[in-house]
Amino acid sequence: MNGRFPIAMHIMTLLCASDEVLSSDYMAGSINVNPVLVRKELSNLIKHQLISSQQGKNGGYKLSKAGTAISLASIYEAVKPDAILGQAKNQPNPACPIGKQINTHLKDLDNEIEQTMLNKLGNTNLAEFCKKFD
Amino acid sequence: MNGRFPIAMHIMTLLCASDEVLSSDYMAGSINVNPVLVRKELSNLIKHQLISSQQGKNGGYKLSKAGTAISLASIYEAVKPDAILGQAKNQPNPACPIGKQINTHLKDLDNEIEQTMLNKLGNTNLAEFCKKFD
DNA sequence: TGTACTGTAATAAAAAACATTACAATTAAT
DNA sequence: ATTAATTGTAATGTTTTTTATTACAGTACA
């Protein structure tokens, strides 16, 4: 996998801990990645209605609702990959009885595991996560 | 993530469904990836004691124990990434109170989720998975 | 003694992730 | 009005990761 979930969590935690709107440049400075990458993820989080933005001077980003109302599952949903258990780029041999069916069965397994994970992540919210910081 | 789990599952399923030893070339043909990649994964699965090999002519690979005795969790363990929820390569800013602590808290969360996944995967074994194929 | 395998190293190619540059659009402050 | 700080996004370049390929030593069967 890539770094999208960690970065999304970092963004959301910063916003949860702040009273004021934060700029993408400020957040990029805390995360220590390129500001454009942060803005791309911010766009995505807006699309998923987890945050909102204010354009123009003194603009920035803030949570769209209280941290207690944002489950970690909803953050994960915003950045989740196609397959949590990984995805090979091969096309298994359709002439082989195993190769012919394996993708279907692996996808079923993947869906089950993803659901289990989401259930677990759904038990915690952003405000709870934020409390761990002192 | 990458394709290691799907490929490992494909290998293990082929071996579970076969009475005879299988060669890496045969398996690469079913999976449709390069044989060297298969042999690398086979090496890893041997290291994790899930399969055994026989060198020389008419050699090949077979399961080291019955499919009913191999949980999907043990297969996942053999190929699992450092972080199921992803890992950014950045070093968060230690001058920021959030940046300073976030990796610790994200790692804790990751461990919790991984454990949940492993529990779920531990409920099924390779033979059960194999039964889905007709 | 040849042939069909495993095992592994070294290198190359392809794909994905991340960084950088650039700039249009927006809005507050002066 | 004009300037400065900001969002939003496209285009391109660099780096890292993944996968493929080539090569060959070692092993065991026939």
The parts of chain A modelled with pLDDT lower than 70 are 1
CB within 8 Å of A128: residues ≥ 6 apart:
A68
- pLDDT tens-digit readout, B23-63: 999 999 999 999 999 999 999 999 999 999 999 999 999 99
Q: Report the nucleotide nearest the CA of residue A52, measured to C1'.
A: D7
- Cα B80 from Cα A27, distance rounded (Å): 31
Helices (H) and strands (E) in chain A, counts: 6, 2
The whole-model pTM stands at 0.96
- B129's tokens: 């998975």
Could you tell me what percent of chain B has a pLDDT over 90?
Answer: 98
Q: Which residue of B has its CA nearest to A12?
A: B98
CA atoms lying within 13 Å on the CB side of residue A18: 19
Q: Where are the alpha helices (DSSP H) in A52-95?
A: 72-79
- A70's tokens: 């944002």
Predicted confidence at residue B67, as pLDDT, reads 98
Q: Are B96 and A33 within 8 A, CB to CB?
A: no
Chain B residues within an 8 Å CB radius of A5: 85-86
Predicted confidence at residue B2, as pLDDT, reads 87
Predicted confidence at residue A2, as pLDDT, reads 87
Question: Measured between CB atoms, which of A14, A72, A105 is closest to B132?
Answer: A105
Backbone angles phi, psi at B44, to 5 degrees: -65, -40
Compute the nearest-CA separation of B20 from chain A (Å).
Answer: 15
Pairing of the two strands A51-54 and A60-63: antiparallel
**How many angstroms separate the CA of A116 from the C1' of C8?**
39
Question: Measured between CB atoms, which of A29, A81, A98 is closest to B30?
Answer: A98
Predicted confidence at residue B30, as pLDDT, reads 98
Predicted confidence at residue A1, as pLDDT, reads 53
Instruction: Report the run of H or E that residue A107 belongs to, with start and end.
Output: helix A97-121
Q: Which residue of B has its CA nearest to A2?
A: B86
pLDDT of residue B82 exceeding 70 = yes
Does residue A42 contact residue A53 with C-beta atoms inside 8 Å? Answer: yes
Compute the nearest-CA separation of B86 from chain A (Å).
Answer: 5
